Amino acid sequence: MSDRPGNGGPDEGPEFGWLYGRPGAGDEPAPEATRRIPVQPRPTQPRRTEPRPAPQGAGVEPRPPVPAPAPYQQPYEQPQPQPPHQPPQQPGRGGGGFWARRLRRPGFYLRMALVLLLLWATYIVAVPFITWRSSEKVAYAPQGDRPAEQDGTTYLLVGSDSRKNLSAAERKKYRTGNVTSVLTDTIMLLHTGGGPSVLLSIPRDTRIDESFYSGKINGAFSRGGAPLLTRIIEAETGIRIDKYVEIGLGGVADVVDAVGGIEVCPKERLLDGQAGLNIYKGCQEVDGTTALAYSRSRKKSALGDLERVRRQREVIGAIGKKVLSPWSVANPVRWWRLNKAVPSFFTFGEGTSALDASRWALAMTRTGSGDNLTCTMPVTDGTAETWDRDRADPMFAAIIDDKTDEITKDQCTPNGVKP
pLDDT given for residue 351 in this prediction: 86
Name the most confidently modeled range: 173-182, 201-210, 233-242, 303-312. 233-242
Q: Is the pLDDT at 238 greater than 50, yes or no?
A: yes
- pLDDT-derived band at 246 (thresholds 50, 70, 90) equals confident
Q: Assign domain 136-406 to its CATH architecture.
A: 3-Layer(aba) Sandwich (3.40)
Do β-strands 346-349 and 136-138 pair in parallel, antiparallel, or remain unpaired? Answer: parallel
What is the average pLDDT across 294-298? Answer: 82
- Under a CB-based contact definition with an 8 Å cutoff, are residues 297 and 286 in contact? no
What does pLDDT average to over the chain? 77
- Under a CB-based contact definition with an 8 Å cutoff, are residues 181 and 163 in contact? yes
Q: Is the pLDDT at 314 greater than 80, yes or no?
A: yes
- pTM exceeds 0.85, yes or no: no
pLDDT given for residue 369 in this prediction: 66
Name the most confidently modeled range: 196-200, 309-313, 329-333, 377-381. 196-200
Q: Is the pLDDT at 207 greater than 80, yes or no?
A: yes
Q: Is the pLDDT at 341 greater than 90, yes or no?
A: no
- pLDDT-derived band at 414 (thresholds 50, 70, 90) equals confident
Do β-strands 184-192 and 153-160 pair in parallel, antiparallel, or remain unpaired? Answer: antiparallel
Give the burial class of 202: count Cβ atoms within 10 A of its Cβ; 0-12 exposed, 13-18 middle, 19 or more buried: buried
Among 39-43, 226-230, 366-370, which is the least confidently predicted range?
39-43
What is the average pLDDT across 16-27? Answer: 51
Name the most confidently modeled range: 40-44, 73-77, 285-289, 337-341. 285-289
pLDDT digits 0-9 by tens, 83-126: 666 655 555 454 556 666 666 666 767 777 888 888 888 888 88
Name the most confidently modeled range: 18-32, 168-182, 292-306, 402-416. 402-416
What is the average pLDDT across 212-216? Answer: 91
pLDDT digits 0-9 by tens, 119-131: 888 888 888 777 7
The CA distance from 129 to 356, in Å, is 11
Among 20-34, 164-178, 194-208, 288-302, which is the least confidently predicted range?
20-34
pLDDT given for residue 244 in this prediction: 94
Q: Looking at per-residue confidence, does 175 or 143 come out higher?
A: 143
> Domain residues of the chain, as ranges?
136-406
- Under a CB-based contact definition with an 8 Å cutoff, are residues 189 and 155 in contact? yes
Q: With DSSP H G I counted as helix, E B as strand and the rest as coil, what are the percentages for the chain, rounded to 5?
A: 35, 15, 50
- Under a CB-based contact definition with an 8 Å cutoff, are residues 183 and 283 in contact? no
Q: Is the pLDDT at 22 greater than 60, yes or no?
A: no
Among 255-269, 273-287, 359-373, which is the least confidently predicted range?
359-373
Q: Which residues pair with 207 in a beta bridge?
A: 216
The runs of H, that is alpha helices, within 259-304 are 288-296
SS3 117: helix
Query: What does DSSP assign to residue 278?
Result: E
The runs of H, that is alpha helices, within 210-268 are 218-237, 249-258
Taken in order 366, 368, 373, 375, the sign of the CA dihedral is positive
> Residue 309's closest CA among 165, 418, 389, 415?
415
Q: Is the pLDDT at 284 greater than 80, yes or no?
A: yes
Among 198-202, 346-350, 360-364, which is the least confidently predicted range?
360-364
Between the alpha carbon of residue 30 and those of residues 14, 20, 106, 352, the distances in Å are 13, 10, 112, 146
